[in-house]
Amino acid sequence: MEGGNSPNLQLQQLPLATAAVSVQPHTDSFSYKENLIGALLAIFGHLVISIALNLQKYSHIRLAGSKDLRAYFKTKTWWCGLFLLMLGELGVFSSYAFAPLSLIVPLSAVSVIASAIIGIIFIKEKWKPKDFLSCGLAIVGTYLLITFGPNSHEKMTGENITRHLVSWPFLLYMLVEIIIFCLLLYFYKEKNVNYIVVILLLVALLGSMTAVTVKAVAGMIVVSIQGNLQLDYPIFYIMLVCMIATAIFQATFLAQASQLYDSSQIASIGYILSTTVAITAGATFYLDFTGEDVLHICMFALGCLIAFLGVFLITRNRKKSVPFEPYISMDAMPGMQNMHDKGIAVQPDLKASFSYGALENNDTMPEIYTPATLPIVQEQHGSKGVSAPPYRVLEHSKKE
């Protein structure tokens, strides 16, 4: 009996062993090719986005420094930047269909690196020598991310996405994320806790859902183009609506953060938080690190840390922009350093356009608030041996 059943047992075990080999991600060389295509698309997209944003910035700077009264959206430079921006976003969107989510998301560091380099070359922004070290760290981190990134691939069909959506790891992850999001939103709206970490963590939680839905939508579109139509599945439209909704709310919180904090802080802290949360979401939903060995995971984590450090150092020394003041401070004028010694107020007249140090004169004001009388003695600069008396402030005596 045992000898007669052994051939049957061997025949039954053979397909199982073959199936087990076929699901291993590293046995298929085409998966590495897909990783490379996705990484190149993401890098290309972020480079084009950086060029587009700097073109639009250059358009604003050129209009501000000229007598051209046209609006910025009527210039060819701004429209060229908008076209490149859409092209770059299309490239990043397409990259999600080829490479794992955990590999594509950290590559947004390329945008920070490119913006810094383009700002030096074209907009003549000042850079210190140590900033090149920061840029080098970000490049090394990006290289490690591409080399040791996850290599798990599966077709983004409606059945696969639905199966991932109802899996217990993702449901547990969603429960934890919803609880954290509600707590942060409560403290931000009700308790007025508007720390930058709180706002950007809200952005990161929304951004992780945006990344998950973008990969699903992009993957189903690519599979449909290849001949297996996926657009008739309801899950496609559910993911599309979630993608648009989370992107809109994400942009809303980013706009609120930009009104409170400097853009360099938002760029560095937002990149670190968004990348960390998105990688966690990708590992939970798409099981990106399934089948990866410990060495690849550790090297990928090291690449993330180096990229985080590089982006943080690049944006750390960016100075906050000083708002333009349409007048010259009276305290900064020669010979007027002691104007406020006795509490006499000198106000710039902002009613007129671009007035410089004008004194406010209003006959209806009480006499104590009228401007000081300044007898002006013209100094003869360049003459030797002649000393000019200093300016004097004659105070008005208050009438009882």
Helix, strand or coil, per DSSP, at residue 160: helix
| 132 torsion bin: left (phi>0), alpha (psi -120 to 50), beta (else) | alpha
**Which pLDDT score is estimated for 222?**
92
| Orientation angle between helical segments 76-95 and 29-64, nearest 10 degrees | 160
Say if residue 63's pLDDT is above 90.
Answer: no
Average pLDDT (113-134) is 76
Say if residue 324's pLDDT is above 80.
Answer: no
**Which pLDDT score is estimated for 387?**
52
67 band by pLDDT with thresholds 50, 70 and 90 = confident
Alpha helices in 125-167 (DSSP H): 129-147, 158-165
| 154 torsion bin: left (phi>0), alpha (psi -120 to 50), beta (else) | beta
123 band by pLDDT with thresholds 50, 70 and 90 = low
**Which pLDDT score is estimated for 25?**
43
**Which pLDDT score is estimated for 389?**
53
**Which pLDDT score is estimated for 30?**
55
Average pLDDT (294-301) is 93
Query: In whole angstroms, how large is the CA radius of gyration of the chain?
Result: 31
Span 258-271, pLDDT tens digits: 888 988 889 899 99
Average pLDDT (189-216) is 93
**Which pLDDT score is estimated for 4?**
45
The amino acid present at 216, given as its one-letter code, is A
62 band by pLDDT with thresholds 50, 70 and 90 = confident
* 370 burial type by CB count under 10 A (0-12 exposed, 13-18 middle, 19+ buried): middle
Q: Which of 23-32, 40-49, 276-285 has the lowest average pLDDT? A: 23-32
Residue 400 CB: number of other CB atoms within 10 A? 3
Higher-scoring residue by pLDDT: 207, 378? 207
**Which pLDDT score is estimated for 59?**
82
Say if residue 292's pLDDT is above 90.
Answer: no
Q: Which of 57-61, 141-145, 266-270, 290-294 has the lowest average pLDDT? A: 57-61
Higher-scoring residue by pLDDT: 198, 339? 198
Positive or negative: CA dihedral 304, 310, 315, 317: positive
Give me the percent of the chain exceeding a pLDDT of 90.
Answer: 42
Say if residue 353's pLDDT is above 50.
Answer: no
Say if residue 7's pLDDT is above 50.
Answer: no
Say if residue 309's pLDDT is above 90.
Answer: yes
Q: Which of 73-82, 136-145, 334-343 has the lowest average pLDDT? A: 334-343
246, 168 in Cβ contact below 8 A?
A: no
**Which pLDDT score is estimated for 318?**
61
Say if residue 34's pLDDT is above 90.
Answer: no
**Which pLDDT score is estimated for 325?**
43
**CA-CA distance, 370 to 255, in Å (whole number)?**
43
Chain centroid offset of residue 178 CA: 23
Say if residue 109's pLDDT is above 70.
Answer: yes
Higher-scoring residue by pLDDT: 277, 61? 277
Average pLDDT (284-296) is 89
CB environment 183-210: b (16+ within 10 A), e (fewer): ebeeebeeeeeeebebbbbbbbbbbbbb
**What does the H/E/C string look like for 299-318?**
HHHHHHHHHHHHHHHHHHCC
**Which pLDDT score is estimated for 352?**
41
Span 133-164, pLDDT tens digits: 888 899 999 999 988 988 878 889 999 999 99
**CA-CA distance, 139 to 135, in Å (whole number)?**
6
Q: Which of 148, 166, 154, 146 is nearest to 216 (CA)?
A: 154
**Which pLDDT score is estimated for 246?**
94
